[in-house]
Amino acid sequence: MAPSAIESPVVNITEAPPQPKWFVPELLPESVKERMEKAGIDMTEYPTPPVVPFYYQEAVTLKGDPWEYNDVAARADKTKSSLLSAATKVTNLTAHIGTEIEGLQLKDLTDQQRDELALLIAERSVVFFRDQDLSPQKQEELGKYWGRIEYHPHVPHVPGVPGASVVWDGLKPGVPRKSTYRNPGGTNRWHSDTSHEPQTPSYTHLHLDALPSTGGDTVWASGYAAYDKLSPAFREFIDGKMAVFSSTHTYIDRNDPYAGPKFIQNIHPVVRVHPVTGWKSLWVNRGYTRRIVGLEPGESDAILNYLYNVYESNLDIQVRFKWTPRSSALWDNRITTHNAMWDYEGKEPRHGTRVMTLGERPYFDKDAPSRRQALGLDGPE
């Protein structure tokens, strides 16, 4: 049986600015309408606008008290035979990151296969499925099976399916996107989803049901492999270091509203350990990491920019996925950073739904091995 899901607390958000109607159903691509109508979604309310927290005190209470997270991958059969034997084809897309599975429908997976899929994601960082007949409800169900899901307060969601966030460039009709060709912005920036939270996402599942005719790919980079790129001396230096992770959204302090904008911030390790594989992973990203604790600003900036560059410039630790309609990407936020290409410049629709499962509070263990050490891949320096 699936573990019981812990629901996020209901917060009474008061005195916030009026919430907008984000867009009208007539603007949606036909493939999206077909998927939603097949799932019984009320399209007159699509999507349900977010209720954005206005005050800092309300924003920090949305996740509630700390909870114990038990990763289902820990109980999976390490051979993953139930999952892999049922597939018609399994392809490792690169040596270090990315696997594509054919011949399986995510909505039909057994509990054992769901456990094994989580383990495969933990080991390979991101796993892809194409030609999925997947409703938002089934997508949310899989996320809940893996644990407590994220109810994202800043993005709209599918009506009646609050865990399925809507990802679409067509939001806010009539409001020009700030991104430009020279400065794409948005998710065209390396990041790990909501890594400012106290208990950060473990598994993320993005399903795209409408795509531009060309472009719109997503690139992931492996934190395991990025850590292994560092020299032993540099690894020793950053092991145990902590960094400040900050929200991209700002809030007002209810008790001091004239003090200026506030951010939600948490301190997490620069190198974290995956609770199931036990491997060390580099875990900083341009989107949310602000500074390394204990270092001067110049020192912190220099080191962080170097670490970002390790992720971003080493093509051999990246995988680039060319989406096709009805594809799903499932990745482990604890060991990856990713970047969504805006090369189509918003000229054609790119639409999908995302479900995130929240995991443990990031931690570091000095005795944990790197991936290459654990797999016996390290040779002479």
CB-based contact 294:86 (threshold 8 Å): no
The ranges of the chain with pLDDT < 70 are 1-25, 170-179, 185-188, 379-381
β-bridge pairing 99-102 and 126-129? parallel
Q: Express each pLDDT in 260-319 by its tens digit.
A: 899 999 999 999 999 999 999 999 999 999 999 999 999 999 999 999 999 999 999 999
Q: Which residues are catalytic?
A: 191, 193, 338, 354
Joined together, the tokens standing for residue 94 give 């690169």
Q: Express each pLDDT in 160-204 by its tens digit.
A: 999 999 998 766 544 455 667 777 765 668 999 999 999 999 999
Task: Quote the distance between the C-alpha of residue 104 and its chain's center.
Answer: 22
Using only the alpha carbons of the chain, give its radius of gyration: 20
For domain 25-374, give the CATH number: 3.60.130.10
Helix, strand, coil percentages (3-state) for the chain, rounded to 5, are 25, 25, 50
Whole-number pLDDT of residue 45:
84
pTM over 0.75: yes
Q: Please state at what angle helix 111-124 crosses helix 136-146, rounded to 10 degrees.
A: 80
Residue ranges of alpha helices (H) inside the chain are 30-38, 56-61, 81-86, 111-124, 136-146, 223-229, 232-238, 297-313, 371-374
